[in-house]
Amino acid sequence: MNVRVALAVLVALPAHASLILSPGTVVANSLGESNPSNNGIDRAISQFALSTSYTSGVTNYTDYFSPAPGPADQLNTYAAANLTGAVDFDLGAEFYLVGLALWNLGANSAVNNFKVLSSPDNTFTTLTVLTDDNAIPDPTAGANFFAQLFTFTNPGTTRYVRFEVLSNHNNTLLGFAELAFEADTEPPPVPTPELSSFLLVAAGGMAFLLWARSRSQIPS
In a domain, 92, yes or no: yes
In a domain, 18, yes or no: yes
Domain that holds residue 172: 3-192
Q: For residues 160 and 27, is the Cβ–Cβ distance under 8 A?
A: yes
> Distance between CA 132 and CA 2 in Å, rounded?
10
Q: For residues 93 and 159, is the Cβ–Cβ distance under 8 A?
A: yes
In a domain, 219, yes or no: no
DSSP code string of 42-111: GGGTSSTT-SS---TTTSBHHHHTSSPPPPBPTTS-EE-SSSSEEEEEEEEEEEEEEEEEEEE--TTT-B
In a domain, 37, yes or no: yes
Any bridge partners for residue 101, and if so which?
149, 180
Residues in CB range of 58: below 8 A, 6 or more apart: 19
Q: What domain count does the chain have?
A: 1
Looking up residue 125, the CATH number of its domain turns out to be 2.60.120.260
In a domain, 214, yes or no: no
pTM of the full structure: 0.78
In a domain, 208, yes or no: no
What is the residue type of 43?
Answer: R
Q: What is the pLDDT along the chain (220 residues), one digit of tens a residue?
A: 665 555 433 344 444 489 999 999 999 999 999 999 989 999 999 998 888 899 999 999 999 998 877 777 777 889 999 999 999 999 999 999 999 999 998 877 899 999 999 999 999 999 999 999 999 987 765 556 789 999 999 999 999 999 999 999 877 889 999 999 999 988 777 666 554 554 455 555 565 555 455 555 555 5
In a domain, 118, yes or no: yes
In a domain, 128, yes or no: yes
